[in-house]
Amino acid sequence: MKFRILAFFFYILCMHAAVFAQVNSNASATIIRGISLSRITDLRFGAMISTETPGTVVINPFDSSRTAVGGVILIYSDIGPATFTIMGESNANFILTIPSSPINISVRDQSMVVDEWTSSPARGQAQIPSQGIMQLNIGGTLHVKANQAWGAYSGSFSVTVSYP
């Protein structure tokens, strides 16, 4: 009889153990460095003379060169791509958005179009290097009309960086 009572208590104890189990776990989170974009220089097409023929001026973001096609005579001046500093989490992917449509730069009632935007790194997804900092260069094409009016033309465009 004692054996049956012990067996019954053992059976109850085993049933209780099978119904209840407990384990501890951990929770964790990582705060990464936010991404930032700082302007260093503006996009500078420089000085030029417009002739009776329309033309274009291109700023290359890869080597900072300036080239002209058509009726534009380039004058030695301060030129170069727009440059920015991107800072963020080391080795993190990010999305770079540069203009995809033309903008107008103007003076008084005159304007010229800037389009064909290019950048280094290229628009779309890129990766911040292990140092957590990198340079962004943006170039484009300026369309100069025949006999374009003289003046210091200006306009603005937007650049965005964000984590995916």
> Which is it for the CA torsion 145, 149, 152, 156, positive or negative?
negative
- pLDDT averaged over every residue in the chain: 92
Mean pLDDT of 76-99: 97
Q: What gap in Å lies between CA 121 and CA 134, rounded to an integer?
A: 10
Specify the pLDDT at position 90: 96
Instruction: From 152, 120, 161, 162, select the one nearest 138 (Cα to Cα).
Output: 120
Specify the pLDDT at position 20: 78
* Cis preceding-peptide flag for 81 (omega within 30 of 0): no
Q: What share of residues in the chain are helix, strand, coil (percent, to 5)?
A: 10, 45, 45
Q: What gap in Å lies between CA 139 and CA 153, rounded to an integer?
A: 16
Residue ranges of domains in the chain: 33-162
Looking at per-residue pLDDT, the higher value among 152 and 16 belongs to 152
Q: Report residue 9's pLDDT band, with 50, 70 and 90 as the boundaries.
A: low
Q: What gap in Å lies between CA 66 and CA 142, rounded to an integer?
A: 11
Options 2.60.120, 3.40.50, 2.20.70, 2.60.40; CATH for 33-162 is 2.60.40
Write the pLDDT tens digit of every residue in 14-63. Answer: 555 556 789 999 999 999 999 999 999 999 999 999 999 999 999 999 99
